[in-house]
Amino acid sequence: MRSRLGALRELRGVHEVALFAYLVTFASVVPLIMRLPLPRLAALITRTPRRPPASTAEVERLAHLTALAPRFGRPVVRSGCLTRGVTLFWFLRRAGLDVELRFGIDPADADDADGHCWLALGGEPFLEKVDPRPRFAEVYRLPLQAA
C-alpha cells in the first residue's frame, strides 16, 4: 500500500492524475490486446503522429509515469518490456513521436524463446538502458513496414 501511495504522490496536478489513470487503464489491458493477431494489433494501436513531437520533458514524464504504473496497478498492471513497450508506443505516438515498437527473440536461447520488445526512434533504440539489438534478433515491428 505504501508503494501505491508513493506513486500517487509523484503525480503533478489534476491533469497528470487523469493522464496516469488513462495510462494505468491502458497498461492493464496490454495482456489482452497482445492476444490479437499481430496485424489486428497493429491496426488497433498504431496511429500516425499528427502533432508536433512532444518536448523532451514530456517524453521523460510519460516514461516515468509508465514506470510507475506497475507499482501502482499491481497485480493488474504487469511489469516487463511488453507492458512498458506497448504502453509507451501508444502514448508516444499520440504525443507526436514517430516511434516504432520492435519485437525480438534471442537466437542463442531458442529452447526457452527468450524475447524482448523495445521502442526505436529514427532506427535507434529509444528509452532503453542497454541496446537490445546485439542480443535480440528483430522478428516484427510496428508500424508495419510497406513491402
11-66: pLDDT as tens digits: 778 889 999 999 999 999 999 999 999 889 999 999 888 889 999 999 999 999 99
The separation between CA 95 and the C-alpha centre of its own chain, rounded to angstroms, equals 13
Q: What pLDDT is stored for residue 147 in this prediction?
A: 40
115-147: pLDDT as tens digits: 999 999 999 999 999 999 999 999 999 997 644
| pLDDT(85) > 50 | yes
Structural domain spans, the chain? 2-142
| pLDDT(99) > 80 | yes
